[in-house]
Amino acid sequence: MIRKAYINEVPQIQRLLNHYGDRGILLPRSLSELYEHLRDFYVVTGDDGSIIAVCALGLCWEDLAEIRSLAVMEQYYGNNYGVMLVKKCMEEAKGLGLNKVFTLTYVPEYFKKLGFSIVDKSELPHKVWSDCLKCTKFPNCDEIALTRNI
């Protein structure tokens, strides 16, 4: 089941994101940041109600949003939860009247299968780099930027 995240799930979301953040795959998120941006997050829950996958749609500008914090617990790989979450975020972006969505990732092939195209990071507005300042890899970012028109 995909739905918007609930406030009491923030600690679970943080554990999942930081599991990958500790490996350098995702940007780790603080509890305060997650509470502040909770309305951006969709979750997939297991039969027991636990969070097994998460993804956020972050608004950046009047015509641009970011697909971010996509994470699926390893034991649920192959169940298309990530695909479903990205599609849900794309539906929301379309409903908001946005023209384009981007993502920064280490797995560009995954997003290319979902209709995203690789672009040079310099094509993205500077406003999107606010999260990058928190990253240990800044300013030597090695993520790949991809966009998709809506």
**CA distances, 39 to each of 10, 122, 147 (Å):** 11, 28, 22
pLDDT in tens, 31-53: 999 999 999 999 999 999 999 99
What spatial distance separates the first Cα and last Cα of the chain, rounded to whole Å?
Answer: 24
pLDDT reading at 135 higher than 70: no
The answer to whether residue 140 scores a pLDDT higher than 70 is no
Q: What is the count of structural domains for the chain?
A: 1
Q: What is the pLDDT of residue 122?
A: 81
Whole-structure pTM value: 0.90
Q: Which amino acid is at 139?
A: P
CATH number at residue 26: 3.40.630.30
Kindly report which listed range (3-7, 44-48, 129-133) carries the lowest average pLDDT score: 129-133
Query: Can you give the residue range of the structural domain that contains 135?
Result: 2-149
